[in-house]
Amino acid sequence: MNRALRSQYLAALGLESWTLRRGPVAGASALPQPAAVPLQPPLPVADLGWAELRAAVAACTRCPLSATRTQTVFGVGSVEATWLIVGEAPGAEEDRQGEPFVGRAGQLLNAMLRAIGLQREQVFIANVLKCRPPRNRDPAPLEAAQCLPYLEQQIALLKPRIMLAVGRISAQNLLRTDVSLGRLRGQVHHFGVSRVPLVVTYHPAYLLREPAEKRKAWQDLQFAREVCSGVQR
């Protein structure tokens, strides 16, 4: 991450940045510097209900992804759900339809949920990012930081018993870590000030490429179901 984006990301998270002071490097002034993305003020969404929050997401221009999206992808499902499924970001089809986890990955996710007795309509499904990154690249840290308050307010409204982070990018952004997905699996993490129990598993798109890992995903789902059944509201 370059220094400008690192400083902006830390500022978006309310963290103090520091730099190592040293003498000038020969020829450094000739190096092109990326244009800084101006930081937005803190996002005032803590008092918004579902309808107002959806409208705020649809009108969002807090990062450059607003210029390349077809539409925002707010999330889908029951606002009374006990399960919250969180992916990383919309793909091309999600960007067109305005709904997360459609296509083959969505069909597999639906099958995974049915395997533990849940229908898609019974859970709430969202992403870390509400806009599609161009060419389906990984979300940039600044984009995730700017978008996270929307997800945090969805969680505050939903009050889920369990969060299921699907995929490495989702898990690492939610838990603010660079630990591998393999090491994050099989344990209960907690998210946010309300410390919602969070379990990590593989992304359905990855499972389509690596079907041998479906057994591990099934173990994760069973574990998440056990965690959910033991958590009181």
Give me the count of residues in the chain.
Answer: 233
Angle in degrees, CA 173, 193, 146, rounded to 5: 40
Name the strand (E) or helix (H) holding 199.
strand 196-201
Q: What is the pLDDT of residue 44?
A: 81
Q: What is the pLDDT of residue 175?
A: 96
CA neighbor of 81 nearest in space, from 159, 193, 197, 171: 159
Q: Please report the domains of the chain, with CATH numbers, ordered by start residue.
A: 47-229 (3.40.470.10)
The values of phi and psi at residue 166, to 5°, are -105, 115
Residue 40 token pair: 């937005």
Q: What is the pLDDT of residue 19?
A: 43
Q: Is residue 83 helix, strand or coil?
A: strand
Q: How many other C-beta atoms lie within 10 A of the C-beta of residue 203?
A: 23
Q: What is the pLDDT of residue 23?
A: 42
Ranges of the chain with pLDDT below 70: 1-43, 231-233
* Predicted model pTM: 0.80
User: What separation in angstroms does the CA of 102 have from each of 21, 186, 204?
Assistant: 49, 27, 11
Q: What is the pLDDT of residue 136?
A: 87
Q: What is the pLDDT of residue 38?
A: 53
Q: What is the pLDDT of residue 40?
A: 59
User: What separation in angstroms does the CA of 226 have from each of 15, 162, 186, 199?
Assistant: 36, 10, 12, 11
